[in-house]
Structures are given as structure tokens and as C-alpha cells.
Chain A
Amino acid sequence: MKLILTGGRVVDPSQSFDSLASVAIANGVIAGIFTGDIPAEFADAEKIDVTGKTVTPGLIDIHVHLREPGFEYKEDIESGTRAAAAGGFTRVCCMPNTNPAIDTAAVVRQILERTQQVGSAVVHPIGAATRAMAGDQLTEMADLKGAGACAISDDAFPLQHADTVRRVMEYCKMLDLAFLTHNEDKRLTEKGAMNEGIQATIMGIPGMPAVAEDIAVARNIMLAQLTGCHLHLLHISTKGTVDLLRQAKAAGAPVTGEACAHHWALTDEACIGYNTDAKMNPPLRTPEDCEAVKLGLADGTIDCIVTDHAPHAGYEKEVEFDAAPFGILGLETSFPLVYSTLVKPGVLSFSDAIAKMTYIPAGILKLGDGVGTLQVGAPADIAVLDLDAEWTIDRDKVQSKSKNTPFHGMKVQGKAAFTVVGGRVITL
């Protein structure tokens, strides 16, 4: 099956390529990028004219909650990957806090099989570090990896004891698996529902101090240095964490990090009025923290951009603030926010932004040769983006089953027109 996308501006940060060109696909892989005439062998290819659009490697989100198995009323693999496609993503890594947790090879296989049947993006399951994510017994990580898990994480159930973290890291190191940590000292954040600070004090909401994240980060970095395990810091939200990560990298520690758009685009003031669509963990913080995250992205301290897409049913969020679950959507708003709040204001170049959403995260989790690039032989995963599209985020028009986003009503620029996964054009 041959496909060629013509007339677009092709940007592949992995090759520092940025030019008007055509992208040719054959047998599910990239066959070539042509700036001049299209070679004769593609004369019979299906042609799609993408004049005026920008063609990049399909976006990759290594931090997503697909909620299947167990919480399909919030989202499932079908709707979650459709939401991914609507956001320009061709590949996502899903977190293990499902029910049952992704703590056995069987669950990994189930997710991969479902994706084959109904997915609109490639899905890489992330395995749990401990059985049932209870923080005690290690999972059979070799079996998880063998079945297709790409990494290990404690997301949503952060390990609280240094000895457990050490054991997990030593085991991950042995199997060459990255350990993705949700960094939170839960005793410091007990009962907390938003960032600790003046907003929480005025609103009378128990706070989650920034230091609770920083303390866990410091501990995890030291253990990563001790064990040599690749540590990846999830959803960085504080200046303290950015500073610790910068120091760790300077010292040569095996640590990488990610950030979500809401942690640089919004502050804890978004919670005013007890808006549960602004409630997530880690919480929205202060302007100083937002600036630190942006600076961290700009200077390379923070490696990649993710969403932490966390759908919840409307009735679950339409409750008293303290009682609402943590989490917001992200897949369909991430690229528009990156483009509008980082690229347009000049915090990141377009190429750097795309890099942080394609080959860099793919490299962090070793998702495969060429993944996240448009190099010849790479999987034909492509995002066709409309950088000129100005639109308003509307939670009633999302592909996700859920609607919990604080960005409803926000005017943004930049939208995914469509994606191609393994050479197949995704239609929504």
C-alpha cells in the first residue's frame, strides 16, 4: 500500500528537516521525503494533498490514562486513542492504574489485543512496579516486558518507602526498564486537594505543599544515582523539582523528566470558585513554578511534553471540591496549547516543541527504531497539523468519553487535521 502526502511543510526535528516536501509511505513505513519531483515508483500511490498544512512525525504521549480495563465508563482504548488521534498523537503509553492494574503479562496482552481491534493509535502499556500497585511485592517485570510493557511506573500510587524504591530501581536496571515516578510524599499532602498557598488559604482547601514533590524527587534521584536505574520524573510541577533535575543532569545522573501543558499554562487561581476541572495531582501551582517549568523546557532540563490525560465522568467531578477525583483531559488540548503558549511566544521553537513530543519521548522509553521520526524505514506514523487554525476549545466536541478540562472556552491556535498510523489514515 503506497501513500504520499504532497504539498505540505515537512518538519522532522530528528533530522533537522524543515522544508516544503512530500512524504512517501510504503508497506506501513516511511519510504522517503522528496523536496523535488516525486519519484516514478510512487506514481500509483494514493495521494493526499496537504498544502498549507505542516507534516510532522506522529506525536507521542508517554503519559496517558486509558482507563481500560476496569474504568471504561470514563474512557476506554477505543475512545482514548480516538482522542489521541484528534490531538495529533499516533502513539501513547498507558499508565498501569487500571482495574486490574497492569501488573501481569495477561493485562498487557489484553490491552495490546484491544488496541489491535479498536485502536486509532499505537498503545504501549506501562507496567506497575508492585502487585496491585500496593507498594509492596514487586511485579514480574521480566514477564511484563516480554509481553510488551515499555516501562514501569508507580503513577497514582507513589511509593513512599525508600527501600521499596531502591528494590524497584535495582530490578528495573537489571531488565533495562525505565522507572517512571509520581513524586509525592503523601504524609505532607494528606487530605490536600490543591496547591498549598494563599489561594488554598483563602478558599479553605487543605493544601499540597510543593515541597512534598521536591522531597520525593530528591530521594528518587539519589536512589537512581545509587542503582544506575533510568529514572523518569512524571508531571513536573514545581520550581524545586526543575532545579533538582537540572543539578542531577549536570552531575551525570540517569534522570529524565516531563511536563504537562497545564503546569505551565495555569496557576492555582484556576481553582477559584471551587472548579473541580482544575483539580489534578500534582496540582496547579504558582506563577513562579510555571515560569520554572517553561525555563526547564527551554533549556532542555525537561526532556519531553506529555498530557497525563486523566478522564473522569461528569458526575464524579460535579461534587464538592475535596470529594472530586484528581485529573483532567489532555490529549486533544496538548498540541494547541504547546503551539499557542510555547511556540508562538517564542519559548520553544516549533522544531524543539515537536522534538519534545516525538523522537525524544520515544527515545526515553526506547519505543523502537525510528519511532518518532520520518526517517526512511521508520513506522509510518504521521501528524498533519494546521498551524493557522484558530479555534476555541469546546469540551462538548471532544472525542473523549469525558469532559473534564479547565481549558473549555479558551481560544487557541494550532490543530491536528488528521493522523496516519502505520500507513493507515485515521478517520474520526
Chain B
Amino acid sequence: MKHLLTLRDTSAEEIQNLLELGAAFQEVINRPVKKVPTLRGKAMITLFYENSTRTRTSFEMAAKVMSAEAINIAVAQSSVAKGESLKDTVLTLQALKADCIVMRHSISGAPMFASQRLGIPVVNAGDGRHEHPTQGLLDMLTIKQAKKGLAGLNVAIVGDITHSRVARSNVWGLTKMGVNVRLVGPRTLMPADAHLMPVKVYDNLQAGLDGVDVVNVLRLQTERMDKGLLPTLREYSRLFGISQKSLKFADKDVLVLHPGPMNRGVEISADVADGAFGINSAVETQISNGVAVRMAVLYTLMGGSGSPSTEA
């Protein structure tokens, strides 16, 4: 595979390979000296048009563990703020001899746009409301390891589906691996024709969580939410908030995921976030898995030398 732009366009086989590679890289990041020469001499440039410390740092960590250079460009500091076109920006980065561009953009399709004009690989780190493939992969790895497999599981994605690239990547990735996916949220935050995707759609939390094995809780993305789609966060929290009480609708061993950052008390209660009272919260595991999965992606796209577990 040349680029990682979507999980919709990634085959089940390619996803499987990335998950296995990610699992292998988990061992590397758990070492006391986490450094392998796999991508030595390669340069990854992150080009982020939207704020994100978490995802960007995760990519930076992944690159550096594998001895690659990691250079971060935040839009406000680059020439982009003066109005340079996306086309010119990415061509410039390629000409600077970047080996891979990891891009986050507020407009869906921007990484694909870049990939069509570049000879180097592009990784989509989140484009508008479209996809966030590495998030989808790390969610899948987390579920797979906790539940010892993916096929046949029932997973509910809860929250602002309309604006969520995490939701869409989860839908395509999970359904390809045989998971039954449910989208749960208020109607004003459910996209048009959602039922035409291979999912079941619910506007009621109890019905949506009934017997599910995994709940993936989406952050209420206030910066992307148009005003007026919800009356108040209070009402959202009461109807769709994931708490110890609402998790009782799900399977007793339900696993809880959240892409972060969390709004404690809004979409997720503090208890659930902290994994109190025996609740299986996978939030911290997700973050570590994110580094491993991104190592797998960078390795696959930049063609690292040697096997993944080469000693430093």
C-alpha cells in the first residue's frame, strides 16, 4: 500500500497485517530502551492544520522509536497562514526531501488531494469528518486483544456521529473484520442516510447498548458542532452519557473505548473514564496501542529495513 488515507479503501488483509505488525511493535515500546534502527535516515513530516497534541505526539514518538526524523509543522507557524495553497505546501515538503507526510486537515479529502500530487506516502491523521484511519486501527487492536478476536462482536459507537471521522473509520474497519456495528446518538447528530451504511442506527441509548461487547464513546466535539444541534450538554449527558448506570444496558464485561480527549461528566462519567468499580476502561491502553499501530503504519509505508524487532 502506498498511502493510508481511509479504512474504507484498505482491504481486510491489509488491516490484518497492520494489526499484527502493531502487536509486534508493542514489544518494542515496552522495552526500557525503546529504539530500533528500522527507519533510520527517513524523515516524517507531520502537517497539522488542526490542533492536536495527542495524535501528533503519537506519530512523533512512533517515528523516533524507529530512528526516523520527525518534523512537525503546525499551520499557524508556516507559510500556510499567509494563504499558500495546499498543493504548494505539500509539494514544498516533498521537495524538502520528506519521506512521508502525516496530515491532519479540517476539510475532508485533503490528504487524498495531497496523495494525488505527491510521490511520497501520505498518512491521513484525520480529515474533517471523513476518516481517522490510525485511530480506527488502534481501536481495533485494543478490542481484538481485550476480547481475543473481532468477528461476531457487537460494538456501539456513541455520540456525535455526524461530525466524527473516528466513527466512520471504525465503521469501515470493524465491519470488514466481521463486527456488528451500531451507531448511537441524537438524531440531530446522526448523518443523512446513516442506515445505508452497514450499521444499525439508534437514537436511544438503552436500545443501542443492549448486550453490546464494546462501547466506543465519542467526544462531544464542540468546535465542530454548529450551534443549536443540542439544547444543552446537560440533556445530552442525561440521554447519552456513558456512566456506570448506562453501562448496565450492555454486556457485563463491556469494554469502554474513548478516542480522547475526554469531557468528564459530559459524554463519559469520571468513574467510567477512570475504570472504577471494575469497569473495563481501555483509554490508556488505546494510547499506547496508538504508538505501536503508527509504528506499523510508518514501517509499512516508508519501507523500513530489517524486521520490526531488530535490536538497536
Contact = CB atoms under 8 A, between A and B. Distances in A.
Contacts, number: 66
Contacts of A201: 191-194, 196-197
B87 interface: yes
B85 A315 contact: yes
Interface string B162-183: 0001001000000000000000
A319 B128 contact: no
Contacts of B191: 200-201, 207
Given A198-B197, A319-B85, A322-B128, A204 B192 contact: no
Given A204-B168, A319-B85, A320-B110, A198 B193 contact: yes
Contacts of A323: 107
Contact of A204 (B85, B87, B127, B193): B127
B87 A202 contact: no
Contact of A274 (B113, B165, B194, B226): B113
B206 interface: no
A31 B168 CA distance: 66
**For B86, B105, B192, B226, which residue has the most chain A Cβ atoms within 10 angstroms?**
B192
Contacts of A206: 129
B192 A196 contact: yes
Contacts of B107: 320-323
A323 B110 CA distance: 10
A205 B108 contact: yes
B108 A321 contact: yes
Nearest to B165: A204
A207 B197 contact: no
A318 interface: yes
Interface in A171-216: 190-191, 196-198, 200-207, 209
B189 interface: no
Contact of A197 (B8, B113, B129, B193): B193
A196 B192 CA distance: 7
Contact of A202 (B85, B105, B168): B168
**For A196, A203, A319, which residue has the most chain B Cβ atoms within 10 angstroms?**
A203
B133 to A, nearest CB: 13
Q: Is the interface on chain B under 10, 10 to 19, 20 to 34, or 35 or more residues? A: 20 to 34
Nearest to B112: A274
B293 to A, nearest CB: 21
A200 B192 contact: yes
Nearest to A320: B107
> Main SS of the interface on chain A?
loop
Contact of B196 (A190, A198, A204, A209): A198
Contacts of A318: 85, 87
A273 interface: yes
A166 to B, nearest CB: 28
Given A197-B192, A198-B192, A198-B196, A203 B109 contact: yes
B258 interface: no
B219 interface: no
Interface in B102-140: 105, 107-110, 112-113, 127-131
A207 B226 CA distance: 13
A274 B108 contact: yes
Contacts of B86: 319-320
A320 B112 CA distance: 9
A187 B228 CA distance: 12
Interface in B243-284: none
B128 A207 contact: no
B226 A204 contact: no
Contacts of B127: 204
A320 B87 CA distance: 9
A209 B192 CA distance: 9
Interface string A264-275: 000000000110
Nearest to B194: A201
Contacts of A273: 112
Contacts of A209: 192
Contacts of B131: 204
Given A201-B197, A204-B129, A204-B165, A320 B192 contact: no
A321 B116 CA distance: 14
Contact of A205 (B87, B105, B109): B109
Contacts of A197: 192-193
Contact of B108 (A190, A198, A203, A315): A203
Ranked 4 nearest A-B pairs via Cβ: A204-B130, A274-B109, A204-B108, A198-B193
25 contacts: A197-B192, A198-B197, A200-B192, A201-B191, A202-B8, A202-B197, A203-B108, A204-B108, A204-B128, A204-B129, A204-B130, A205-B108, A205-B128, A207-B191, A273-B112, A274-B108, A318-B85, A319-B87, A319-B113, A320-B105, A320-B109, A321-B107, A321-B109, A322-B108, A323-B107
Given A274-B109, A315-B85, A319-B113, 20 more contacts: A196-B192, A198-B196, A200-B192, A201-B191, A201-B196, A202-B8, A203-B109, A204-B109, A204-B127, A204-B128, A205-B128, A273-B112, A274-B112, A274-B113, A319-B85, A319-B86, A321-B108, A321-B113, A322-B107, A323-B107
Interface of B: 8, 85-87, 105, 107-110, 112-113, 127-131, 165, 168, 191-194, 196-197, 226
Interface of A: 190-191, 196-198, 200-207, 209, 273-274, 315, 318-323
